[in-house]
């Protein structure tokens, strides 16, 4: 999203392209549209000469996917070691919290049910919750880095002339429901730039940004005179207060997810803030003093999964 031109481009559901941010740039520069998705986005990229790969998986990522699939649906995808020992049979605990604690469960299969059927919707929600729980259990077990699980990168910059730009790119939430698009390509949600004010980008739970239009909110807070850090903290507080579903809350009644904002204003003042701060949380900065990491400042103490 280039500030001086006051427009932006996005792509979603774009498979087989290693550099989707460049496709999004082409959408902005070559079309009258903001967002191109799915098969159309892939064909658009192909027409511009982008290489389309049949499979971007590595041996490691494929092995992780198989482990995730087994944890979600152990009645069909069996643990080979438990299979040989004759344990890990279906019919165990079906609670996503149990999967999160490392016990196996069966969230139920969707089956050929009419999508308007409430039972189908309930099974879909159970599958979603169990899918997320299985992925998070792999984070707990050290199989997946927590940052890689969400898989998003955001960059905001100010030129020496004071022009502002931003880009956010992501592979999306690991093993999401096929077709899910997050906040990254949506202007105002995962990314927003106003050349007279500043820019904000985000990583973390995309749905939280979609519900709150968080990055636009941050830029508007800065327009009202807030410093980047204060604007980011105010947006995090808005997200926290709007997180009312119990399934999205931890044992303390706080958001059971992290969310991070990377913010810069026209003067070059910047901030990196997060729903939860920790000694290991940092963001990258590059200015006249060179490249370095600085700690993210957290709104809340502890962990999202306390």
Structure tokens of 102?
A: 């490392």
Same domain, 182 and 231: yes
Are residue 190 and residue 265 in the same domain, yes or no? yes
Q: Could you tell me if residue 306 is inside a domain?
A: no
Residues 97 and 226 in one domain: no
237 and 287, same domain (yes or no): yes
Per-residue pLDDT, 240 = 98
Residue 192's nearest CA partner among 173, 210, 172 is 210
CA distances from 247 to 59, 133, 226, 288 (A): 33, 11, 33, 45
Looking at residue 6, what DSSP letter applies? Answer: T
For 83, the enclosing helix (H) or strand (E) is helix 80-85
Please give the structure tokens belonging to residue 29: 């520069």
14 is a domain residue: yes
Residues 131 and 230 in one domain: no
d(CA 191, CA 155): 9
CATH number of the domain within which 234 lies = 3.60.20.30
Q: How many domains does the structure of the chain reveal? A: 3
Residues 131 and 154 in one domain: no
pLDDT per residue, tens digit, the chain (306 aa), is 999 998 999 999 999 999 999 999 999 999 999 999 999 999 999 999 999 999 888 899 899 989 988 888 776 666 666 656 655 444 444 455 544 444 444 444 444 445 556 776 677 677 777 888 888 889 889 898 876 777 799 999 999 999 999 999 998 877 777 888 999 999 999 999 999 999 999 999 999 999 999 999 999 999 999 999 999 999 999 999 999 999 899 999 999 999 999 999 999 999 999 999 876 689 999 999 999 999 999 999 998 987
Residue 47 lies in a domain: yes
Q: Of 99, 120, 144, which residue is a domain's last?
A: 144
What is the rounded distance in angstroms from the CA atom of residue 267 to the CA atom of residue 95?
50
List, in sequence order, every residue forming a beta bridge with 287; answer none if it has no partner: 290
Q: Is residue 63 part of a domain?
A: no
28 and 130 in a common domain: no
Note whether residue 45 is domain-resident: yes
If one counts every other C-beta atom within 10 angstroms of the C-beta of residue 85, the result is 9
Residue 64 located in a structural domain? no
The reply to whether 253 and 195 lie within a common domain is yes
Q: Is residue 286 part of a domain?
A: yes
Give a yes or no: residue 68 inside a domain. Answer: no
DSSP assigned state of 256: S
Assess whether 185 and 264 both reside in one domain.
yes
Say yes or no: 129 and 263 in one domain.
no
CA–CA dist 73, 83 (Å, integer):
14
Are 169 and 282 part of one and the same domain?
yes
| R_g of the chain, CA atoms, integer Å | 21
Let me know whether 45 and 97 are in one domain: no
| Full residue range of the structural domain in which residue 111 is found | 75-144
Q: Structure pTM?
A: 0.80
Q: Which two tokens stand for residue 268?
A: 């070059």
Among the candidates 118, 144, 170, a domain finishes at: 144
144, 170, 194 - which closes a domain: 144
Q: Which long-range contacts (CB under 8 A, 24 or more apart) does 56-64 make?
A: 56/16, 56/18, 64/138, 64/143, 64/144
Closest CA to 73 of 134, 136, 149: 134
């Amino acid at each position: 999203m280039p500030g001086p031109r006051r427009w932006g481009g996005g792509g979603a559901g774009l498979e087989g392209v290693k550099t989707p941010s460049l496709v999004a740039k082409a959408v902005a520069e070559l079309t009258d549209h903001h967002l191109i998705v799915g098969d159309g986005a892939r064909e658009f990229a192909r027409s511009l000469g982008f290489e389309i790969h049949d499979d971007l998986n590595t041996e490691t990522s494929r092995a992780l996917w198989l482990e995730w699939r087994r944890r979600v649906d152990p009645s069909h995808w069996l643990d080979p070691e438990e299979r040989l020992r004759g344990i890990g049979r279906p019919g165990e605990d079906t609670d996503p919290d149990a999967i999160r604690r490392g016990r196996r469960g069966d969230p139920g299969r969707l089956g050929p049910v009419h999508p308007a059927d409430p039972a189908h919707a309930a099974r879909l929600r159970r599958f979603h919750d169990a899918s997320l729980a299985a992925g998070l259990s792999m984070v707990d077990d050290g199989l997946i880095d927590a940052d890689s699980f969400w898989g998003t990168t955001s960059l905001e910059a100010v030129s020496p002339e004071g022009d502002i730009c931003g880009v956010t790119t992501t592979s999306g939430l690991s093993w999401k429901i096929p077709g899910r698009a997050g906040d990254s390509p949506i202007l105002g949600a995962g990314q927003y730039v106003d050349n007279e004010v500043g820019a904000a980008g985000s990583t973390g739970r995309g749905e939280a940004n979609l519900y709150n239009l968080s990055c636009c909110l941050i830029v508007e807070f800065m327009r009202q005179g807030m410093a980047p850090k204060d604007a980011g903290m105010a947006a995090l507080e808005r997200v926290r207060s709007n997180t009312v579903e119990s399934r999205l809350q931890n044992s303390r009644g706080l958001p059971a997810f992290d969310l991070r904002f990377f913010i810069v204003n026209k003067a070059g003042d910047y901030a990196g803030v997060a729903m939860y701060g920790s000694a290991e949380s940092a963001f990258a900065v590059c200015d006249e003093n060179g490249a370095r990491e600085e700690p993210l400042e957290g709104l809340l103490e502890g962990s999202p999964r306390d």
